[in-house]
Amino acid sequence: MLHCIFLLSDSGEVMLEKQLTGHQVDRSICVWFWDQIISQGDSLKLVPVIASPTHYLFQVVREGITFLACTQVEMPPLMAIEFLSRVADVLTDYLGSLNEDLIKDNFVIVYELLDEMIDNGFPLTTEPNILREMIAPPNIVSKVLSVVTGNVSNMSNTLPGATSSCVPWRKTDLKHASNEVYVDLVEEMDAIINRDGALVKCEIYGEVQVNSQLSGLPDLTLSFANPSILNDMRFHPCVRLRPWEANQILSFVPPDGEFKLMSYRVKKLKSTPIYVKPQLSSDSGTCRISVLVGIRNDPGKSIDSITVQFRLPPCVLSADLSANHGAVNILADKTCSWSIGRIPKDKAPSMSGTMALETGLQRLNVFPSFQVSFRIMGVALSGLQIDKLDLKNLPSRPYKGFRALTRAGEFEVRS
Amino acid sequence: MAPPAQSQKSASPSQPSGKGEVSDVKMQLRQLAGSRSPGTDDAKRELFKKVISYMTIGIDVSSVFSEMVMCSATSDIVLKKMCYLYVGNYAKYNPDLALLTINFLQRDCKDEDPMIRGLALRSLCSLRVANLVEYLVGPLGTGLKDGNSYVRMVAAIGVLKLYHISASTCMDADFPAMLKHLMLNDKDAQVVANCLTSLQEIWGLEASTSEEAARERETLLSKPVIYYFLNRIKEFSEWAQCIVLDLVAKYVPSDSNEIFDVMNLLEDRLQHANGAVVLATIKMFLQLTLSMTDVHQQVYERIKAPLLTLVSSGSPEQSYAVLSHLHLLVMRAPFIFSSDYKHFYCQYNEPFYVKKLKLEMLTAVANESNTYDIVTELCEYAANVDIPMARESIRAVGKIALQQYDVNAIVDRLLQFLEMEKEHVTAETLVLVKDLLRKYPQWSHDCIAVVGNISSKNVQEPKAKAALIWMLGEYAQDMQDAPYILESLIENWDEEHSAEVRLHLLTAIMKCFLRRPPETQKALGAALAAGLADFHQDVHDRALFYYRLLKYNVTVAERVVDPPKQAVSVFADTQSSEIKDRIFDEFNSLSVVYQKPSYMFTDKEHRGPFEFSEELGNLSIDTELADNVVPAQRVEANDKDLLLSTSEKEDNHGASNNSSAYNAPSYDGSRMVAASQAQQDLVSLDQPPPADVPASLAIDDLLGLGLPVAPSPAPSPPALKLNAKAVLDPNSFQQKWRQLPLAASQEISMNPQGVSCIVKSSGSSSAYARSFHPLHCFRWSSPELQVLFLRTKRGRAFYLSCGLYFNRLCPNLVCLRDQSWKKMIE
């Protein structure tokens, strides 16, 4: 049971305070909390669950905004953390993104949302679809509409039908002019590559994202050509689990709009689409660095938005880096980022240069890790393929669309 | 009207006091209140927004309360919401004016729009003004019977709010019975869930006073009710599922078939997208199968994949919470994740708290087959840019080495660290090599060869320096230069700021002297002289002690300072298995994150969440509360040695108590009787935790000087001046207190009435029956002396320990030690 929720800006100012129970939590707790953060140096480093003299505090940081919840009683920590993450997600969804100004401009909506999401310290509903029916998001359309009609209320006047329907995530009488459903496979590749080029760990975390614009109460079945490669799945509450267990078929009545149908992991992949080969050699106070990037396993589609990032070791005083393709930037916090974009056909991109070490240091003694990001449209690198999508219970023939996308998640090359 | 102190206090000085603005708004509101012109709502909306934004940034706007209420007659729902928000925040401090709001809230409770009915009811229940409860009963009663589920849902929680304002009103109106009916019959799952939360809390709090409530609480756990919830589990929202699963985890199925039924029914919850649901399910599975060993193992297998997904897919905060639980599991069953160790490899971008837990996981899952890979990975981190991370990973390597897998390879790696020539790496590694050598003396040759090459100038951290010096002393015969290195260190005695290092230096030079007398004699003399002149009491005392010991008899000195050592086979585990079991019972709770059972950190909780004083938010009171919590942990953690000391004094009493405490290593206990067993004490002095030194050394001093041990409070030695403003933090006080020998004892008998009076004074009889606060302090005084009682609880017995404070006898001696333990059986 949570007693209170605070939203703090990145300077520690209380932007919002929502008391949830009769036990009022004084704001001074935030001052205490912020002192802790300052003493830790970096808010990201502060443990998510900490004990203050009076309360137990849960914190989740998103885009510089700290979501802080207080409790005095024993409760599942993951419940609080998960709830705060959902609050952050819902707010991002409502406000378009998340920053201090947006929250301050729309604090009434934030209050309204929190009011519906949690009562007396117990989470009620965090399903964006249901919330959206109770509280209209502050989008341009509604702004225009309110100017035109003179009705300024950003609140729908009807009670969500969903709360009483038998399918809690969907209201019964939806109507769409165009009947469309889009299924996206979005995969992230997490990999660690050692300095000798060996793959230490390579995994794919994937999501099946569905955007459904369908009328009535449609019943969908989605099947994969090769479901056996999936390691562990998690499903949206709408998925019926029996058909999955029996035949690996996803059978569900979709919520309206965008949602995450399932997430999965594929373990132990054998190769990565690109290689990044850093080489560092140092001698008498200078260090030569060269990084080579190229395609290792052609996925069949073009790989774009390739960037390589690394943090210069603290013992490096200055660096002079240049690349034969793309741009190299060194930021103030010693982060060096090399954006390559696409790999050209005629040459292999490489970056090279020298770094001057601290006086007295002969050789480099800490080695940076290189974070690589890339994006491949049209391919799911895990090899997962959608077999077919059947729709039942629909008034008219719908349009079905499929897409796939793979991008680098935590893709790390050590040197 | 008196402005509430609360919000005034919280407004930080940098923010505008807002007085001018507030009175401005007040004027405008007043003008709008009566007006019925078309644009009023828009103007009102702007003003309301302003008021609420002032409220949000912490300006006290309670002075516009009456104006706000006057303006609240509106049909605009957003205006209503803002008004409800305002009223809910300030009604508590304006109970008289709150009455004004009742009228419009009650009217809204009868609105035709269910949303408004619900919102109004929620606000009505959130006013929390005790003298308005009579107005609540009616709307709540209708709310519970409302045709719309939204209103019923709000009303169900409203009953709980009413209960906290006035329990008697709630019970008199028979709301719990209505809730129960609703819980078992309503077709909306959220209503059912809200009823359940309300009932759990109400009956839980009532159970101590009313038998009926206790019975009702039992029925919640009865088979039909549990089955009713389980059958509807899929209808509940994810959060409600957590609550239901929590309830089911308390249910005890009658036979194994039932257990399997429940588990089959809930197995798919493991694939829920919400981590909280997954963890609640896992908790239930583990609890259900505790008695069935083989099924329990299968459960471990089953929950592995979902847990690993939770770790790798969520935000860092989620990973942290899940990893804490994984750590607990892996402690109980190290094998479950031993093949999935790669999941705990750290990524560069992860926050430190996640990495640290992952390192702990890697240490815990290491076994014969994966040690090589894991240590290789850990070595990568040691070269990492992130210094704390590098340190932690070296520590992890050391921990794995102490677990005895593939030590050979690890020692090689550790020695490679020393060659990396990075100060923090060298420092960490030295400490580890020292521990390794204590466990595996057979590696000394390899290690010494490398350690000997390290220049002590490159080692600055006290811990590492102490470790290096220890090795120099311990392996003086194997290291050619040992005496000379030590000598050069002694020459720089004055530049050495850490007392710990100086203490080690003394011991090391002693050892070195005993093995290679001719080379060391000069250095020893210099060291003893420097030590005797040292301003630090402990260093001084140790030097004096060595000096006298050597003067008395060198062979005795050798027996004391440098006896043949046995390799340490097991380093003391910091957590007892009993505590681990307690934490496991509290799976999916904060205990896991803190790695302490909840009674150690939430003793307030037993009182129920709402019995705290209203000013609790005030930090000055807070610190006192915090102090209450901290000793509780300390006393519990230390009561092992407390028990040991008791056993010496009161054999007949303690024996029946807790056998596990007696099996604990007697390391701590030996310190208690240190004075009489100098030899044993000195052996342990070899690696003393720094805080222990003062007291025991003081005792040595007494012995060495041959002063009679005074039976009554000994006059303090002239060198010691009592500091008028002594400051001692509770922890070290406790430690010192325990180390003092029994100075005087006096039997004071207390009649049973007095005892029961103490018991009563520590809490109402109902709280007493339910659960003890682990720690309670109270005072009993008479003209000559004050007795402070400290009550600690352990198992079914509890102890009273008392401290005596003499009021008149010795004004400058603050306290004497007299620990007499009284055990009372419940």
Is the CB of residue A35 less than 8 Å away from at least one CB of chain B?
no
Interface A–B counts its CB contacts (< 8 A) at: 284
Is A87 an interface residue toward B (CB < 8 Å)? no
pLDDT of A229 reads 84
The C-alpha of A323 sits at a distance from chain B's nearest C-alpha, in angstroms, of 24
Look at A190 and B347 and tell me if their CB atoms are within 8 Å: yes
**End-to-end Cα distance, chain B:** 52
| The token pair that represents B389 in the structure block | 């991370």
Residues in chain A within 8 Å Cβ distance of B44: none
pLDDT at residue B329 tops 70: yes
B222 close contact with A: CB closer than 8 A: no
Which residue in the set B160, B315, B588 is minimally distant from A85, CB to CB?
B315
ipTM above 0.95, yes or no: no
C-alpha distances in Å from residue B152, one per residue of A115, B190, B430:
16, 9, 66
Tell me: pLDDT of B364 over 60: yes
- What are B785-805's pLDDT values in tens digits? 444 445 544 444 444 444 444
Going from the C-alpha of A326 to that of each of A273, A341, A374, the distances in angstroms are 19, 7, 14
pLDDT of residue B682: 36
**What are the tokens at B319?**
């990973």
Say what angle helices B19-34 and B40-57 make with each other, to 10 degrees. 150
pLDDT value at residue B669: 37
A152 interaction partners in chain B (CB closer than 8 Å): 41-42, 45, 76, 78
HSE-up of B334 (CA within 13 Å, CB side)? 13
Cα(A342)–Cα(B7) distance, rounded to whole angstroms?
Answer: 57
Q: Is B301 on the interface with A (CB under 8 A)?
A: no
Residue for token pair 């799976």: B587
Chain B residues with CB-CB distance to A201 below 8 A: 342, 345
Structure tokens at A95: 């406000």
- pLDDT, residue A14, reads 84
> What was the pLDDT predicted at A186?
92
The answer to whether B609 contacts chain A (CB < 8 Å) is: yes
Distance CA B95, CA B130 (A): 8
Instruction: Using CB atoms, pick whichever of B128, B305, B318 lies closest to residue A231.
Output: B305
Res. B609: pLDDT tops 60: no
CA B10 to chain A, closest CA, distance in angstroms equals: 6
Q: Give me the residue from A75, A111, A313 closest to B590, CB to CB.
A: A75
Answer yes or no: do A31 and B12 touch at CB < 8 A: yes
d(CA B730, CA B474): 35
- Tell whether A53 is within 8 A of chain B (Cβ): yes
The pLDDT value given to residue A129: 74
Confidence of residue B655 (pLDDT cuts 50, 70, 90): very low
Phi (first) and psi of residue A147, to 5 degrees: -70, -45
**Dist CA B699 CA A334 (whole Å):** 56
User: Which residues between 362 and 391 in chain B have a beta carbon less than 8 angstroms from any beta carbon of chain A?
Assistant: 377, 380, 383-385
Instruction: Tell me which residue in A56, A159, A245 faces B115 most closely, judged by beta carbons.
Output: A159
Span B109-124, average pLDDT: 83
Nearest CA in chain A to B589: A76
**Chain A residue whose CA is closest to B267:** A241
Q: Do B92 and A24 touch (CB under 8 A)?
A: yes
- B320: chain A residues, CB-CB within 8 Å: 47-49, 81
Is the pLDDT confidence value at B709 over 60?
no
Judge: A237–B272 Cβ closer than 8 Å, yes or no: yes
Q: For position B12, what pLDDT does the model report?
A: 41
Confidence of residue B395 (pLDDT cuts 50, 70, 90): confident
Nearest chain A residue to B630 by CA distance is A53
- Average pLDDT estimate for B438-444: 77
Q: Which residues on chain B are in Cβ contact (under 8 Å) with A108?
A: 49, 52, 78, 81-82
Partners of A136 on chain B (C-beta within 8 Å) are none
Cβ–Cβ contact B352 with A under 8 A: yes
Residues of A (233-262) whose Cβ lies below 8 Å from B: 233-237, 241, 245, 260
CA distance B10 to B618: 10
Q: Which chain A residues are closer than 8 Å to B362 by Cβ? A: none
Residue B728's pLDDT is 61
Mean pLDDT, rounded, for B357-362: 87
Which of B125, B233, B313, B588 would you mutate first to test chain A, the one with the most A CBs within 10 A?
B313
Which residue, among A44, A78, A361, would best test binding to B if mutated, counting the most B CBs under 10 Å from its CB?
A78
Residue A69 and residue A88 in contact, taking contact as beta carbons nearer than 8 Å: no
The total number of residues written for chain A in this structure: 415
Of residues B617 and A372, more confidence is placed in A372
Of residues A299, A336, A301, A334, the one with CA closest to residue A315: A334
Task: Look at B76 and B138; give whichever has higher pLDDT.
Answer: B138
Q: For an interface test with A, which of B52, B165, B237 has the most A Cβ atoms less than 10 Å from its Cβ?
A: B237
* A275-279, B36-40, B153-157, B276-280: the lowest-pLDDT one: B36-40
pTM, whole model, 2 decimals? 0.71
Contacts of B351 in chain A (CB under 8 A): 44-45
Nearest-CB residue to B53 (from A107, A119, A205):
A107
Q: What is the mean pLDDT of residues B199-210?
A: 84
pLDDT surpasses 60 at B654: no
Both structure tokens of B331? 């402690």
Q: What percent of chain B has pLDDT over 90?
A: 0
- Considering only CB atoms, which chain A residues are within 8 Å of B612? 23, 72
**Average pLDDT score over chain B:** 69
Q: Which residues of B touch A13 (CB under 8 A)?
A: 57
Contact assignment for B318 to A31 by CB distance below 8 Å = no
* Strand order across the beta sheet in which A219-224 lies: A239-240, A249-252, A219-224, A386-392
Residue ranges of chain A with per-residue pLDDT less than 70: 41-45, 137-169, 171-173
Tens digit of each residue's pLDDT (9 = 90 or more) over B492-525: 888 878 888 888 888 888 888 888 888 888 888 8
Chain B interface includes A109 (CB < 8 A): no
Q: Is A189 part of the contact surface with chain B (CB cutoff 8 Å)? A: no
- CA-based nearest distance A392→chain B, Å: 23
Beta-carbon contacts of residue B220 (< 8 Å; ≥ 6 apart): B196, B199, B200, B203, B247
Q: Do B609 and A260 touch (CB under 8 A)?
A: no
Statement: residue B592 has pLDDT above 50: yes
Residues of A whose CB is below 8 A from B309? 232, 234, 263, 265
Read off φ and ψ for residue B655, nearest 5 degrees. Answer: -55, -35
Closest CA to A18 of A87, A98, A101: A87
Residues in A touching B10 (Cβ below 8 Å): 26-28
Whether A237 sits inside 8 A of B238 (CB atoms) is yes
Best of A120, A126, A253, A413 to disrupt the B interface by mutation (most B CBs within 10 Å)?
Answer: A120
